[in-house]
Amino acid sequence: MSAKPFKNSKGVNKPFRSPFSTPRKNSTENNVNIPELASHGTPFRVSISKRLLFQTPPTKKLHLSEEKCENQMDVEQDKELRQDQLESLKKQIQEKQELINKLKTILLYKKKNKAEDLETAIKKWTDACQNVLKDYQNDLQERNGQSASMAEILSTFGIKPDTVHFLITDDTFH
């Protein structure tokens, strides 16, 4: 016998039945088989659960009007705008945090270095620089016998006279 039934034989319209046996429950509610006759007169059994499983629920047709389509487009545009706004807000927050950090460091430096201490340090270093320049001028005269003015020495080293409080007109430090 061939595996495929002939075109008009009795086995053509039979539903598929698995060759594997499945355990049956004792309750008769779940395994109720109702014998039915097919159009050609072949009886077959279909369980209720299988019938319920293969029934397709009625589908509702969606009618979208132009207004609903426009509303959906507006919603999509709103989402894009919100994303852009969110990104710009994140950037602003990051900039503000950087500004806060800079201000904190400035405040820390101000607390650490008081203005009075800074003024005394500036005066101390200015006096030291003036003394070194005078010593250099005296050393040049003793060793080489050259007399160089303080303005020439400052220009040689690229020092601005205002930085070391030197008056060019009087040729003195103040």
Q: CA 76, CA 69: separation in Å to the nearest integer?
A: 11
pLDDT tens per residue, range 122-151: 899 999 999 999 898 888 888 888 788 888
pLDDT of residue 89: 93
Q: Which two tokens stand for residue 145?
A: 């016998």
Helix (H) or strand (E) segment spanning residue 46: strand 43-47
**Dist. CA 27–CA 138, nearest whole Å:** 123
- Give pLDDT, residue 38: 45
Helix or strand (DSSP H, E) at 124: helix 115-143
pLDDT over 90 (residue 74): no
Determine the angle formed by the axes of helices 150-157 and 115-143, rounding to 10 degrees. Answer: 110
The average confidence (pLDDT) of the chain is: 76
Q: What is the pTM of this model?
A: 0.37
pLDDT given for residue 140 in this prediction: 87
